[in-house]
Amino acid sequence: MAAVPASPGHTSGDGGGARFVATHAADAVFERGLRSFFEYRDLGIRAATAGRVVAHVIRPAAGAAFSGQPHLHRTAFQLVYVLRGWIEFEYEGQGVVLLQAGSCVPLPPGIRHRELGHSEDLEMLEVVMPADFDTVEVDGVQAAQAAEATPAAPADLRAPQS
């Protein structure tokens, strides 16, 4: 079996737009992204799925001020898995939830949430579909606090009805 070279993103294949991508921790690059107080490491999933899915490792950005603005994401699928440390969220209809290393949360599309705090050593994996999704700031996490209705995922991204 041939070894995959230790490169930032070895790719091959065509598979209908999907392709093989390998990324390595030794070559990891973290960049500021959606939330200014976090850094994001792209895992190459957007390229591997021809833009259908994005996945990244998220960690706190050194020296960045934290802000827990309530928001929602217009997604078909979002999963958060804590690799190390902890993070605390408030979720619509669920209240406060503490996630620690090993915790996993698949979030319903459009759920309102906000971060309440996190450890300095936090690292979490986030997987989102579609790769290009909108984030909307809202007035509050709980629906009764909010001034607007929760937008649904676009029709072509909703789960098929049985």
pLDDT at residue 118 in the model: 93
pLDDT at residue 97 in the model: 96
pLDDT at residue 81 in the model: 97
Q: CA torsion angle for 135, 141, 143, 148 (degrees, to 10)? A: -40
pLDDT at residue 8 in the model: 43
pLDDT at residue 154 in the model: 52
pLDDT at residue 62 in the model: 84
pLDDT tens sequence for the chain (162 residues): 333 333 444 444 545 567 888 888 888 888 777 667 889 999 999 989 988 999 999 999 887 777 788 999 999 999 999 999 999 999 999 999 999 999 999 999 999 999 999 999 999 999 999 999 889 989 999 875 544 444 455 555 544 554
pLDDT at residue 96 in the model: 96
Top-tier CATH class for 10-153: mainly beta
For the chain, domain boundaries: 10-153
